[in-house]
Chain A
C-alpha cells in the first residue's frame, strides 16, 4: 500500500549541478553577459584586442590601453592581460629569488599560526564555485599559495579576504607557483599595508576616500553620515577581498582589470563608482537597515561594468584620486623621514656622550635645523640651506642610509628631490 505508481516529479530527481559561465553554481552570481555588451561590433572588438595583445609585449600603460581596458577586456584575454600588466612574462619568478623559493615556502604546511586561519577559510572560499566545491584539489593549491605568501611577507602573514583574492587568480591560472608570484605582484607594495595587523593601510586610504567622497557626492555623504554609517562599514568588505563580494561577477572582474591597470587607485575608482551608480537608491533609503544592504549587495543593474565605467568617467575620478593620493603620500613620507631623522639625531647625541662614533655624517649633524628641511612646505627653512653641496651630500646620505632604516620600509623608494 505504500507503493506509489507514479515516478517522482522531475524536479525532485537528483540533477547534475549546473554552473554559469564563470564556474559558479547557477543562481549564485548572476552573470548575463561576458564582459561588455558590444552589440554588433563584438567580433571586431575581439579581433582588435587579439591584434593588440600580439603586438604589444609587455603591455605598456598607454592612453589606448587604458581606454581599451575601461571599455571591457574580452573574457578570453583576461588572464593574458592581467599577467602582462603585472609585468610577468615567461619568467614568472623575479630573478633575485632562489629557484626553489615557492616550493620551500609552500611545503611548510600546518606548522604556522597563519596556516590555522588559512585552513579554516579554505572551505569558506567561494564554496559555490566548481573549483572549490567539496574536497577539490584546487583547495590544496590555494592553501599552498596562501601559506607560502604568509611566510614570504611575514609582517602581513595571512588576513581573511586574501583567500578570495588568491582564489580568483587560481580561476585563471592553474599553476600554484604562477599564482603565487602573481599574488605577490598584486599585494606587495600595494595592498600589504591594508592586510597587515591593525589594517593601517586600509584606514589610511579610507581617510583619503572620505575626502573624495565628500567632494564628489556631498549630499550622499551627508545622508550616509546621518544614518550612522561609517565608510569602513562598506569599504572593509569591498577592499579586503577586492570586490569579490559583489553579487555580479562581471563587475568584480571589471574592477580587477582596473586593479591590474591602476593598482590601489582602482579601489577608490570602484568604490566611488558604486556609490555614484547607486546614489538615487541610497538617497531614498532610510536608516542603516535600508542603506547598508544596498551597499553590501548593490542591485545588479547598478553595477554592470558599463555603468561603473560611465560613473568613473562622469566623476573624473581617476584624476581626482591621483591628485589626492599623491598629496597625501608626500605628506606622509616627509613626516616619516623627519621622524626617523629625529630618532637618529637623538641616538647620535646619546652615543657621542658615551664615546661611541656617530652614525650620522658630520655634514648632517652640522645643521641642527635640518629636521624642518624634510617638511616639504617649509620654504623658508629650505632656503637656509643655501649651499648646493650640502643639498647633494644630504641626498646621497638619504639614498644610502635613511631608506634602509627600520620604520622607513613603508615609504617606497622615490627620488629624494621629490621630498627635500
Chain B
C-alpha cells in the first residue's frame, strides 16, 4: 500500500566526460551494485534506470544516459543533455587531460544545458592514490567557483557512489515536487516538465 501512496518522480540524468574515466563503471556500480572489470566501450550511449528513496519517502527515478567519451561523439551529446535535470561530469584523478575535458563539459552545460540542471563534478578512481595527478582541492575549488557540487568516487570500491546519486536527488528542485503533487501520484513515466522550455520537438515524454 505504501508503494501506491508514494510520490514517484522521474528525472533525466546524463553522464559526461572523457573516454575511459569510468562513466559506465559509476553507472553500473550505482544501478547493479557491482564493479565489472569487463565493461565494453560505450558506443553512442547506453541507458539505465534506477530508483532511490529520499528520507521523506519520496521515490526518485533516474533515467541515466551514459554517453560515449570519444571526442567525435561530442556532436551527439546535446541529444542526451537537452532536457536533463541532472548531469554528472566525470574526470579521472590520475589523468590531467580528463580534468581539462571535464571543465569543457561544464562550460558547455552552462551555455547550452537546462538553466536549472543540477551538476555534479566528480573525480573518479580514488582507489588509485599512488597515481593521483589532480588533488581534491583543485577539483573542489573549480566546483565551488562554478556553483557545482564536488565529490570524489571509486566505481571500483563503490566509495561515494551512492552518496553521489543521493546528493543529486536531494538537490533536484523542489518546485518540481510541487508540480508533481498537483498532477497526481499515479503517473509513472511522465516527467514533470518544468524548466525545459527550449526544446524543438519534445525531449521529454507526455
A→B interface (CB under 8 Å): 117, 120-121, 124-128, 159-161, 163-164, 196-199, 225-228, 230, 232-233, 236-237, 240-241, 245, 286-290, 292-293, 296
The answer to whether A228 and B19 have CB atoms under 8 Å apart is no
- Chain A residues near B37 (CB, 8 Å)? 127
The answer to whether A230 and B45 have CB atoms under 8 Å apart is no
- Chain B residues near A199 (CB, 8 Å)? 72-73, 75-76
Nearest Cβ in chain B — how far from A110, in angstroms?
A: 16
The answer to whether A125 and B40 have CB atoms under 8 Å apart is yes
The answer to whether A287 and B38 have CB atoms under 8 Å apart is no
The answer to whether A237 and B45 have CB atoms under 8 Å apart is yes
Task: Give per-residue flags for B160-191: 1 if the beta carbon is below 8 A from chain A beta carbons, else 0.
Answer: 00000000000000000000000000001110
13 chain-A/chain-B pairs, Cβ below 8 angstroms = A124-B39, A160-B19, A160-B41, A160-B73, A161-B43, A199-B73, A199-B76, A228-B83, A228-B202, A236-B76, A240-B44, A245-B40, A245-B43
- Chain A residues near B72 (CB, 8 Å)? 159, 196-199
- State A196–B76 Cα separation when bound (angstroms): 13
- Of B63, B76, B190, the residue contacting A232 (CB under 8 A) is B76
Whether B153 sits at the interface, judged by CB under 8 Å, is no
The answer to whether B79 and A289 have CB atoms under 8 Å apart is no
B→A interface (CB under 8 Å): 10, 12, 19-20, 37-47, 49, 61, 63, 68, 70-73, 75-76, 79-80, 83, 188-190, 201-206
Q: How many A-B residue pairs have CB under 8 A?
A: 97
- Chain A residues near B39 (CB, 8 Å)? 124, 127
- Of B46, B75, B206, the residue contacting A198 (CB under 8 A) is B75
The answer to whether A160 and B43 have CB atoms under 8 Å apart is yes
- Of A124, A226, A227, A290, the residue contacting B41 (CB under 8 A) is A124
- State A161–B69 Cα separation when bound (angstroms): 12
* Most chain B CB neighbours (cut-off 10 Å) among A117, A121, A160, A237: A160
- Of A121, A164, A233, the residue contacting B44 (CB under 8 A) is A233
- Chain B residues near A237 (CB, 8 Å)? 43-46
Given A288-B63, A288-B205: A296 touches B41 (CB 8 Å cut-off):
no
Given contacts A160-B42, A199-B76, A289-B61, 18 further A-B pairs with CB under 8 A are A126-B40, A127-B37, A127-B38, A127-B40, A128-B38, A160-B43, A161-B41, A164-B40, A164-B43, A197-B71, A198-B72, A199-B73, A199-B75, A227-B205, A237-B43, A286-B189, A287-B190, A289-B189
